[in-house]
Amino acid sequence: MKRKFFRSNIFCIFLLIIFVPLIHGHQQNQNRQRERRGRANVFTIKGKVIDWGKNYVEKALVLIPEISKSAKTDKSGSFEITQIPQGRYHVEVYAEGFLDYSSDPFNIREDNLRYQIVLMKKIEEEIVVTASRTQKLYNETAVKTEILSNREITAKAPSNLADALYETTGIRIENDCQNCNFTQCRINGMPGKYSQILIDSSPIISAMTGVYGLEQLPAEMIDRIEIVKGGGSVLYGGNAIAGVINVLTKEPKENNSHIKLQQEVISGKPFTNIGFQSSVISKDLNTKGYLYASYQKREHVDLNGDGFSELGNINNTSFGFNFFNDFLSIHSKVKVSLFRIFEERRGGNLFQKPPHETNTTEWIKTDQLGLSSEWEQSFSEKMNYVLSFSLVNSKRNTYYGSHKDPNAYGKTENPLLFLNSQVNYQIGEHVLSMGAQHKRDEINDEAIGYNRIIENIYHETGVFIQDDFKIGKTFSFLSGLRLNKHTVLDKLIITPRVSVLINFSRDIAFRTSFSTGFRAPQVFDEDLHISQVGGEGMMIVNSPELKEETSYSLYSGLDYGKQIGGNLIQLSIEGFYNKLSDTFVLQEIERIENARIMERINGSGSKVYGLSLEAGLVLGPRFSLATGWTFQRTKRYEPEPCFNAREYFKTPKIYGHFDLKYENDKLVNLNISGDYTGPMKVPHYAGYIPEDILETTKSFFVINLKLRKPINISENSKISILFGIHNLFDSYQGDFDLGVDRDSGYVYGPRKPRTFYTTFQFSL
């Protein structure tokens, strides 16, 4: 019995020794197979997060809520989520300043899935600086600020600042000379001399450089533009009566470079524009540099075949750089900028001959050198200090003459210095800003042939205080006061401003502003451009009794903005009223050989009032429509002497624009836009015609077409090709004066006739 039990146990032990390893091995094989099957069912999602401007979105949180897995995007907008089991999921994305994103549910059945997620910015997250000289969210700013973003400016394919401002509600860019084509920007019907153009919040566009400045500042210099309508003198001094246009230059966000070649054809004549931009950022992100250059060359165009140009020659070379450095240890930041602009422009006839051997020539050779610096120091979260200076030295050689006049040569030098000091301090819900500014504007002008020598130095000093007070999420009050002292004025000038913001809801905001302004008398404003009328030049002198112009401005309006999913609706209505007192007017006091002497005196005053309407509709990432219209009236309190007219000249009662876009990088980006200018009164002086006439122009409707196709070469390199037609149906002035005695100022309507252009841009 024992022997049988022993034998059976030995047999069982033998079976265990043989089969247990086999069973264990089989189980291990099964486990390995399960692991392999498990690994086969684990996937990875990779992708990029960008905004609608094709910019990378950094630090966005990408989440798969079903399994609580997430990742953050890097500097290139890239993310990666690994170890995702097979299943049905959706992706959510959260980023500061953007609408939350949630994808449709999807099934994961393959590895290395790639996604491109496009986020839409919240409309209230725009940062503006012009209205209060402090950085603020737009929805918290009591003064309405219109923003032309870098994306909007790029879509216009501009060559210069004038092109970038085109098709903006309440703004008209007009050509005012048949010879040299100098331009001005009218804000709500008021002439360009009442607007202040800033570069990085500094008023360094002088009376002289402002004549051609809109076309001299290259598009490569511009990052974005902020426009504040109404009196801005409390912060920026004189001339900011109609409004402020602040050109903000670029601060790099990433390392990249762009090369642009744009070729236009106007009536068979070429206009070439070459641009270069390059941004460099250090590894620690504390040091940044931005370099740009531009070259523009246009041949003169004779549209009516009389041998005299309607569009003159332009040869412009510009370059500059911005340098930034953050000193984190002492909580400060410095910016240094430099630019140089060389331009030669000429209009008239006989371009191959010297100016004094022609029938009519306006020739201007300009050299501008600008240097600026800004130091920003943060003492705490509630207090910071800004110290800045800007210096622009402008030199010009000119010829404004006709009938082979050897005396029409001149030269001008205009150094302009601006100093600014400002401290901002937060006390509870109040942000107090106090500052002092000084501007030195020197004019040295010689026209020896006319025995005209002007040597003037103007000093303007201002001290201001401003209180920005916020009550909850509903009310904001902005009040400010400035004391101004100008060397040509015997008294202090006080310019107050009060603005109120009421956020009725998240979607509806009401703004109203009251402000005053002033404009000091100077010899040089747009009159530095000496118009040729009937072959004669004009010179301007100031009356000994001339005093400043003053203004009162009232602006009120409602803004509505609603985002529904990926769609956006925006509506705006704004009323405006501007009253001018002691308006500057010209009267003839003497005639000399080939020139008329005009004296600037004070007139009685005038007013401009009206209504602006804007609407925008964005339907997903593909379609958008924007339109804006201005209805306005102008009235002089006393008729002007030449035509007994009370209306402003070259000021239509209605003008507006529309812009329709379809964006699809895989197919093509299509842009159709239009610009309407209603009838207006335009003076037509004798010369070519026998006597002075006040003309009423017809209306103009300009249609523009652009097609753009981006081509990705690699992850960081792409080519963009654009073809466009400006003024498709050639809606253009048809009654230009002819010959040497023409009135060169009899110009109205669109700036360009039908123009074909193509743009090639390479980015890396």
DSSP string, 266-335: ETTEEEEEEEEEEEEE-TTS-EEEEEEEEEEEE--B-SSSSSS-SB-EEEEEEEEEEEEEEEGGGTEEEE
pLDDT band, residue 709 (cuts 50/70/90):
very high
Mean pLDDT, range 305-327, rounded to an integer:
95
Burial of 8 (0-12, 13-18, 19+ CB in 10 A): exposed
Mean pLDDT, range 53-66, rounded to an integer:
84
Q: How far apart are CA 290 and CA 277, in angstroms?
A: 7
Q: What are the C-alpha distances in Å from 25 to residues 13, 15, 17, 19, 375? A: 18, 15, 13, 10, 74
pLDDT at residue 89, rounded to an integer: 87
Q: Considering the chain, what percentage of its residues have pLDDT values greater than 90?
A: 49
Mean pLDDT, range 72-91, rounded to an integer:
87
pLDDT at residue 6, rounded to an integer: 47
CATH class of 41-119: mainly beta
pLDDT at residue 165, rounded to an integer: 92
pLDDT band, residue 302 (cuts 50/70/90):
very high
pLDDT at residue 5, rounded to an integer: 45
Mean pLDDT, range 457-472, rounded to an integer:
91
Phi then psi for 571, rounded to 5 degrees? -135, 145
Q: What residue ranges do the domains of the chain occupy?
A: 1-34, 41-119, 124-763
pLDDT band, residue 533 (cuts 50/70/90):
very low
Mean pLDDT, range 627-634, rounded to an integer:
96
Specify the range with the lowest mean pLDDT, choosing from 136-140, 345-349, 669-673, 722-726: 136-140
Mean pLDDT, range 279-307, rounded to an integer:
93
Mean pLDDT, range 168-189, rounded to an integer:
90
pLDDT at residue 12, rounded to an integer: 52
- pLDDT for 363-420, tens place per residue? 999 999 999 999 999 998 889 999 999 999 999 999 988 889 888 898 999 999 999 9
Residue 231 has pLDDT above 50, yes or no: yes
- pLDDT for 539-594, tens place per residue? 677 888 888 888 899 999 999 988 776 688 999 999 999 999 988 887 878 777 66
The CATH T-level fold of domain 124-763 is Maltoporin; Chain A (2.40.170)
CB 349 within 8 A of CB 388: no
pLDDT band, residue 122 (cuts 50/70/90):
low
Sheet containing 69-72: order of strands: 69-72, 61-64, 92-94, 101-102
Q: Supply the mean pLDDT for the chain.
A: 86
Q: How far apart are CA 739 and CA 630, in angstroms?
A: 36
Q: How far apart are CA 676 and CA 696, in angstroms?
A: 16
pLDDT at residue 29, rounded to an integer: 55
- pLDDT for 196-210, tens place per residue? 889 998 888 887 888
Specify the range with the lowest mean pLDDT, choosing from 166-170, 251-255, 552-556, 733-737: 251-255
Q: How far apart are CA 135 and CA 245, in angstroms?
A: 16
Residue 313 has pLDDT above 80, yes or no: yes
- pLDDT for 433-464, tens place per residue? 999 999 999 988 887 776 777 788 989 999 99
Other CB atoms within 10 Å distance of the CB of residue 483: 14
**Count of residues for the chain?**
764
pLDDT at residue 750, rounded to an integer: 92
Burial of 391 (0-12, 13-18, 19+ CB in 10 A): middle
pLDDT band, residue 534 (cuts 50/70/90):
very low
Q: How far apart are CA 81 and CA 60, in angstroms?
A: 13
Specify the range with the lowest mean pLDDT, choosing from 122-136, 208-222, 287-301, 388-402: 122-136
Residue 599 has pLDDT above 70, yes or no: yes
Of 343 and 542, the structure prediction assigns the larger pLDDT to 343
Token representation of residue 180: 């040299």
pLDDT at residue 9, rounded to an integer: 54
pLDDT at residue 359, rounded to an integer: 93
